[in-house]
Amino acid sequence: MQTKAFAAQTPQSPLAETVIERREPGPKDVLIDILYCGVCHSDLHTARGEWEGIRFPSVPGHEIVGRVTQIGGEVSKVAVGDIVGVGCMTDSCRVCASCHDGLEQYCEGPHGFQQTYSGWLDGYGENTLGGYSAAITVDEHFVLKVNHGEADLAGVAPLLCAGITTWSPLRHWNAGPGKKVGVVGIGGLGHMGIKLAHALGAHVVAFTTSESKRQDALDLGADEVVISKDPEAMAAHTRSFDLIVDTVAASHDLDAFITLLRRDGALVLVGAPEQPHPSPSVFPMLLGRRSLAGSAIGGIPETQEMLDFCAEKGITAQIEMIAMQDIEAAYARMLKSDVKYRFVIDMASLK
Ligand code: NAP
Ligand code: ZN
Ligand code: ZN
């Protein structure tokens, strides 16, 4: 069925209105009328073709909240009228060990997981098209239930990527009471990392390059804020962190953070810069048995767990609502780290 969307036709062309084809719901499919879609930095990396293998035309958007308008005959998870979410994945092999463990983002099948946009083909064309659109058809396995109130829904959209991408490492590396947790970069991911680590009971230190975000970081739940460009402020935290989650969208020096880890501490990279980071020095890692790790989004069960936790605790993203037509201006501000703290598209502007 024909659906309005915003697409970049090439890495050089600005996003503009277009019409895309969505599949009619099959037996296990859910058709969702999109209400809100968050704007992730990955959308920008993709629309500009910054990563390898991006498919065009590109319709970004993987922080989707909407209402179910139609379901296939075998769908049991949701009903017409339900408010639901869709994140970064819309399919996976379902049979490998990772899929079996509910960690579909690490699917070991021939294609890996199917990304919500720029994903592998599944019989419906050479590309998947994301949430900068009026509607989307998704297999029920990849549809999340949203229990927040209707007034909160725009702020729920960013939980589907920014929320789960920080939640998953915080949980895996046991952020909680008695743990000192750092969050590097206060953008979409980072501001959710602060909120979630705080709600999990950890002592939270926010690292930012933007002096202007100091008070906001405290308001978001950070116990301390460090301006990462200040070597003295950094040195005051040497050998003290159990976990640091690095959300920075640009290449930077990792040693500055590795040296802040206590023995057995971990620096976990979730930011995905276009250019690689300079290689970390070996000795700070040896002398302290420190780890450098990475983490990708999160599986479907843990995404539901995070959404339920946030609904219970009243957690949403801090957002700035935009019209679909304002997306290029939003990207320009994102490149200047000037987002407080997630743009969310009101999809009524497209319809
Ligand atoms: P964002 O809103 O643009 O935030 C990134 C933050 O990083 C900025 O606000 C800024 O924070 C800091 N920063 C930016 N440029 C910097 C630089 N040159 N040096 C130091 N700090 C800098 O982006 P986002 O949506 O949170 O996404 C962050 C990254 O995570 C992107 O690369 C995105 O593609 C990636 N990502 C990965 C996953 C995953 O599964 N691993 C999922 C989603 C997104 P301060 O102003 O506080 O310094
Ligand atoms: Zn994302
Ligand atoms: Zn799999």
Residue spans per domain, the chain? 2-161+298-349, 163-294
- CATH number 3.10.310.30 given to 163-294: no
Q: What is the mean pLDDT of residues 320-333?
A: 98
Q: Is 116 in the pocket of ligand 1 (CB under 6 A)?
A: no
Take atom 18 of ligand 1 and give the residue whose Cα is closest: 250
Output the pTM of the full model: 0.97
Q: Which residue shows structure tokens 């980072």?
A: 190
Model pLDDT for residues 196-255, shown as the tens digit of each residue: 999 999 999 999 999 999 999 999 999 999 999 999 999 999 999 999 999 999 999 999
Looking at domain 2-161+298-349, which CATH architecture does it have?
Alpha-Beta Complex (3.90)
Q: Is 187 in the pocket of ligand 1 (CB under 6 A)?
A: yes
Distance between Cα 282 and ligand 3 center (Å): 34
Among the listed residues 316, 307, 310, the one whose alpha carbon sits nearest the alpha carbon of residue 146: 307
Confidence of residue 123 (pLDDT cuts 50, 70, 90): very low
Take atom 13 of ligand 1 and give the residue whose Cα is closest: 248
| Predicted local distance difference test score (pLDDT) of residue 161 | 98
Q: C-alpha distances in angstroms, 43 versus 58, 88, 97, 282?
A: 9, 11, 29, 33
Confidence of residue 92 (pLDDT cuts 50, 70, 90): very high
Whole-angstrom distance, CA of residue 180 vs CA of residue 182? 7
Atom of ligand 1 nearest to the CA of 44: 34
Ligand number, closest to the Cα atom of 86: 2
Atom of ligand 1 nearest to the CA of 42: 34
Q: What percent of the chain has pLDDT over 90?
A: 95
Q: Is 297 in the pocket of ligand 1 (CB under 6 A)?
A: yes
**Burial label, 341 (beta-carbon count in 10 A; 0-12, 13-18, 19+):** buried
Q: Which of 62-71, 119-128, 149-158, 275-284 has the lowest mean pLDDT?
A: 119-128
Model pLDDT for residues 245-270, shown as the tens digit of each residue: 999 999 999 999 999 999 999 999 99
> Considering the chain, what is the average pLDDT of its residues?
96
Q: Which of 108-117, 145-154, 287-296 has the lowest mean pLDDT?
A: 108-117
